[in-house]
Amino acid sequence: MEPSHKPLKEWFGYSRRERRSSFILLMIIGLVTGVRYLVPDSRATIEEVQIEIPAAVGERFSFAGSDPLPGRPKSAVNKREQKPLLDLNRCDSASLVALPGIGPVLSVRILKYRNLLGGYARVSQLREVYGLPEETFNLISGRVFADSTAVRKIVINRADFKELIRLPYFDRTEVSAILRYRDVEGRVSGIGELVSNRIISSETAGKVRPYLDFDN
């Protein structure tokens, strides 16, 4: 009589080696299934991160035959993008408000002072605008410039009291002295003449020099 397990063995059709392999496979499946339920899902989520590479770095680390920064114009890689400077003598109120620290009130004062002067001869004159803090001047001084060729000059040998006193750097005594000197001498030849005759100080001369025309 054949052993009772023989029909079962024949039904499966497994050899001893095959049964051993099947047992190992079942153990591996059970182990993996157990770990999956016992250990929390720790799969990391990969997010797309956009990194902007500075132009200087893009120039140093570039790949042969490829654009250092794909999708960007070469001009943006080769040179730093800079906003154009704002001309104090040709800008409007909207342009000034776009500057850091400049609101509608300060922009109007800057334009009014420009009109009073006849134009800005230098950026440092912004310090003379009423209510403009030194901190604000430091913020905007590097973003503006003054085209001195746009300054409206006063012909000193023909100007009257009203024209000369318009300059905030002159006081009434100095203007009266200039007019008297001109009446006596006939004309003023240069700024140095006014200083040497003690009509105005050298400090005042440095301020008014860009606004006076002695040729006519």
What tens-digit pLDDT sequence spans the chain (216 residues)?
445 555 555 545 556 666 677 777 777 877 777 656 665 554 544 444 454 544 444 444 444 444 444 555 554 444 445 678 999 999 999 999 999 999 999 999 999 999 999 999 999 999 999 999 999 999 999 999 999 999 999 999 999 999 999 999 999 999 999 999 999 999 999 999 999 999 999 999 999 999 999 986
Give CA angle at 72 (69, 78), nearest 5°. 70
Q: Which residues fall within 8 angstroms of residue 115, CB to CB, at 6 or more apart?
A: none
CATH class of 86-150: mainly alpha
Q: What are phi and psi of 69, to 5 degrees?
A: -130, 90
- What are the E-state strand segments in the chain? 86-87, 144-145, 154-155, 212-213
Burial class (CB in 10 A: 0-12, 13-18, 19+), 87: middle
- pLDDT value for 37: 61
Q: Are 114 and 83 in contact (CB under 8 A)?
A: no
Model-level pTM? 0.61
